[in-house]
Amino acid sequence: MKKILIALATGSLVITAGCSNGVAQDDEEEDKAVPVEIYACNYNEGMGPADLDVVTAKWNAWADERGLNDYTAWTLTKFYSGPEQEFDYLWLGVSPTAQALGAAQDDWLATGGEIAAEFEKLGPCDGHSNFAAVNFKEPPDDDDPPDKVVISFSDCNIEDGKNFADDVAPAIAAWAEFRTGHGSEAGHWVLFPAYGGGGEEFDFKYVASWRTHEQQGIDYDNWDADKNSELFDGVIDCDSSRVYNATNRRRAVEEEE
């Protein structure tokens, strides 16, 4: 795992599937990992989603005032889950680079105290972790991005004798391409633990997204166990997915070309 994180940090671990359908990257492109921070939070008694909406609106006003234009935020609530998910919601934040995320965090620590106190009134966020995310297939790109999506997470381990760059990455790229060829519009990512954990019992998280539960259901109906086994048996071992309803809270401003 240290070798994976070193490769991610230096930008040398890239996906070069050369696909023209939005899966992975063109041969001449390098897609470095991007940082993802996740807070795991609970509500205090008497607090709930409506209160989170109010505080998030105040946070957005602070972010507008501070010119926080390279940070995207989502909140995730459980849909399919088990007792191990001991939180009420997740806050997921993404920046294009770790430097940009660090700058946003510096500004938050220096000037966001008043809004931070509002979040503390909602309840504690006992977990704060950071992941290095690599995209294998983007979700549909259009002029009307959804405010709500469905996201799944699976914990995966790399089988003995296999490695990510030579074995896992090609299998995931092939799976994403195969699913796309059969009508799937799901996005595909992997997330490697970077900070805030310790003692993880997985090598990476396999993440997928859909616009709706119906689209996820279409993929469910069209699942090809034979192809999945062909690509992943003896390569990775993943647990069953947890599924969340995700609500967009802020979008990074896209740079004009």
DSSP letter for each residue of 197-247: --S-S-SEEEEEEESSHHHHHHHHHT--HHHHHHHHTTTEEE-PPEEEEEE
pLDDT by 10s per residue, the chain, length 257: 444 443 444 343 433 332 223 333 333 344 579 999 999 999 999 999 999 999 999 999 999 999 999 999 999 999 999 888 899 999 999 999 999 999 999 999 999 999 999 999 999 999 999 999 999 999 887 667 889 999 999 999 999 999 999 999 999 999 999 999 999 999 999 999 999 977 889 999 999 999 999 999 999 999 999 999 999 999 999 999 999 999 999 999 875 44
SS3 category, 132: strand
Q: Contact at 8 Å (CB) between 20 and 37?
A: no
Instruction: Flag whether 85 is in a domain.
Output: yes
Residue 203 has phi, psi (to 5 degrees) of -90, -35
Instruction: Flag whether 129 is in a domain.
Output: yes
Instruction: Flag whether 256 is in a domain.
Output: no
Owning domain of residue 115: 2-250
Closest by CA position to 77, among listed 257, 249, 236:
249
The predicted pLDDT at position 1 comes to: 45
Q: Could you give the number of structural domains in the chain?
A: 1
The CATH number of whichever domain residue 236 belongs to comes to 3.30.70.100
Q: Contact at 8 Å (CB) between 191 and 207?
A: yes
Kindly tell me the burial class for residue 95, based on how many C-beta atoms sit within 10 Å of its own C-beta (0-12, 13-18, 19 or more).
buried
The predicted pLDDT at position 31 comes to: 57
